Each structure stands twice: as C-alpha cells, then as structure tokens.
Amino acid sequence: MTIKTIDYELVEFIPEQLEDGILYISEPYNTAAHKCCCGCGEEVITPLNPTDWSVKFTNGKVSLFPSIGNWSFACRSHYWVRGGQVLWSYDMSEEAIQRGRDIDRKLKEQYFEDINRDKGAAPSWTARIGNILKALGKWLKK
C-alpha cells in the first residue's frame, strides 16, 4: 500500500522497527529514517546535512529536501515529502536518474567550492578522512 501522508517523530536514536508513514528524525545524529512510502518495507536513511537532505517544519508538518529516489531498491520509487504529503513521481528513466545524479553532484561540488573559498583552503585531512569513513559506513550497511 502506498503511503500518501507522512508524520514525523523526533527521536534520539532511530528505532529498530520503523512504522509506515512516520519520518523519524534524530537531531543528535543528524539522520532521518522512514519506511519506503511505496510499502515495500525498505528503510530509507537520509543523512541530514547541507549536501544530503534537510527537513523543514511548517504548521506541524514535515518536508524533506530534496526528493527521495530509491533507485537502489527493487521498487525504484521516487517521491517528494512536502508539508506532510507524499508526492509521487513516475518511475524515472535511467537517463533522467543519471541527470538527477549529475545535478546532485554539481550541487555538492559547488557547495564544497563555496566552503573552500570561504576558508581559503582545501578541506583538512581530518575532514577528508571523516568523509571517507562515513562513506565506508554507508557502504558496509548495504
């Protein structure tokens, strides 16, 4: 069953059992998680930081930016969470998915360029190692 509305719950730790239609938000760990809104049962983990996702609250309803594209799941679902509503997109073509990824990458590059310009220096080694560890952590969880 596809989920049409989504609520949120602020938690310290993401619970082991996620309920349908709830976006769990852990501020201490800058992470949000929910069950894929198509009803397939997959867990969607969305790190909350400037290069991944962000949440916004309006009138007690949650929005998640950017959209959720579960290309790595069998369902390949793609939707937006806006004001507590789940907005569905079509199943995107490979080309459209690739284009979306390119845009994402450019935004990230732009973001890091801006940071580096602000700092006037390349990211420190500790920051780079931190990112590598984070990426590895993501990889191991798959």
Rounded least distance, CB 80 to Zn ion, Å:
15
Rounded least distance, CB 73 to Zn ion, Å:
5
Rounded least distance, CB 60 to Zn ion, Å:
26
CB-nearer residue toward Zn ion: 76 or 115: 76
Is residue 38 at the binding interface for Zn ion, with CB under 5 A as the rule? yes
- Whether residue 52 contacts residue 64, with contact meaning beta carbons closer than 8 Å, is answered with no
Kindly report the number of other CB atoms within 10 A of residue 117's CB atom.
Answer: 9
- Whether residue 65 contacts residue 58, with contact meaning beta carbons closer than 8 Å, is answered with no
Is residue 33 at the binding interface for Zn ion, with CB under 5 A as the rule? no
Q: Which residues contact 110 (CB under 8 A, 6 or more apart)?
A: none
Is residue 45 at the binding interface for Zn ion, with CB under 5 A as the rule? no
The correct pick among 11, 14, 40, 55 for binding Zn ion (CB under 5 A) is 40
